Amino acid sequence: MLQLKIDPEFQEQIPPLTDEEFEQLRKNILEDGEVYEPIIVWNGTIVDGHNRWKIISDNWETLKDKFRTKEMDFSDKWAVFDWMYRKQLGRRNLTEEQRTYMIGKLYEARKRSQGGSYGNQYTKVPCGHNVHKANQRERKKKTAESIGDEYGITGRSVQRAEKYSQGIDTLKDVSPDAAEKVLTGRSNVTKKTIKDLPRMEPEEVEAVASSIVNGGPIPRQKGNRKCKTKIDSDNPVELDGIIADMYDRSTVPEYTADSLIYEIKLCADEYVKQIQHMLQDRSKVLTTESKPQIADTIDRYIIEEFMKVRDSLI
C-alpha cells in the first residue's frame, strides 16, 4: 500500500466535512469506482485530499489503481498554506466566517512566505529603526492590498481578517467545537468578540467558548463597554457592529473626513453582512418565484435609501 504522510498542521487548515458530506463523498467515489481529483502532495505529504485519501485507504483493494497523486513544488510550508487557502477560497459553499478566516490566514502565510515576520531582534537595521518599521508597514500594506485585489475587498479588510483568524485560532486552542460552530455560521458571537480573544484572560476565552458551544449569551468582556479609543486618521480604529456604541466621540482629538469615510464603509459592510446572513438563514424561502421579488426589495429599499443619503451631499 502506498504510504503518504499526513501533517496535522496541513490537515487542520481545511474546514472539516460534516458526517453527511463525508458519507456522500465516500458513496460517490465507491459508486464511480474511481477518484477523479488527484491527491496533492509535497515531499510525500498530503496537501489536499485528506478525505479522499482516507476513503482510498479504507477501500484499498477496490481503489488502489483508481486514483493518482500530483507532486507540487513549494518553496516552504508557508507557500503550501498560501496555495491551500487560495484553493479553499475558490469553493462556493464557504460561510462568510470561513471566508474571512481563510483570507486572514492567507495574509499571514503570504507575509511569512515573503521573508518571515519582517525582522526580529537579531535583524540589523542599517538605515535606522524608524525607516525599518516604515518599510515593514509598507510591505504589509502592499501584501494586504494585493490579496484584497484578488478577492474584491480593501487591504484594510484583509488586515482585519487576519485579526479575526487569530481570534479563531485562539478559540480553537480552547475548544475546537466552538471554533467550528463559529466558522459554520451557527453562533451569534460578533467578529469584534472573536478579534478580542487573543487579548483576553484564559478564563474569559473559556467562558466565551462555553457560551458558544452551549448556545448561551456571550459574556461581556472586561473593558468592552464603549471603548474610550482615540481615532487617528492615519491609523483608524477598527470597529464592528453598531459604530456609535463602540467608542466615545468626546475623546476623539482630531476627527477628519477620512475618519467619517472609514466609519461609513464599516456601517455599509455591517448592513451588507446582516442581509447576507438573513438570506442564508432564510434560504428555504428563496424559490424561483420569490427571488425576483426579494431582489426588487433590495433595489428599492436599500439602494434607493443609500442613494438618498448620497444625493443629500451633492
pLDDT digits (tens, 9 = 90+) for 208-262: 999 999 998 888 766 444 333 344 444 444 444 334 444 444 444 466 777 778 7
The residues with which 247 forms a beta bridge, in sequence order, are 227
**Side chain identity at residue 159, one-letter code:** Q
Assigned C-alpha cell, 183: 466558522
The pLDDT, as a whole number, for residue 22 is: 94
Handedness of CA 239, 240, 241, 246 (dihedral sign): negative
What does DSSP assign to residue 48? E
Edge-to-edge strand list for the sheet holding 39-42: 45-48, 39-42, 69-71
pLDDT for residue 17: 82
* Amino acid (1-letter code) at residue 173: D
DSSP track, 244-304:
GGSB-GGG-S---HHHHHHHHHHHHHHHHHHHHHHHHHTGGG--TTHHHHHHHHHIIIIIH
Q: Enumerate residue ranges in the chain where pLDDT < 70.
A: 114-136, 221-255, 314
Q: In the prediction, which pLDDT does 204 show?
A: 94
pLDDT at 38 (0 to 100): 95
Q: What's the pLDDT at 299?
A: 81
pLDDT of residue 81: 94
d(CA 107, CA 85): 10
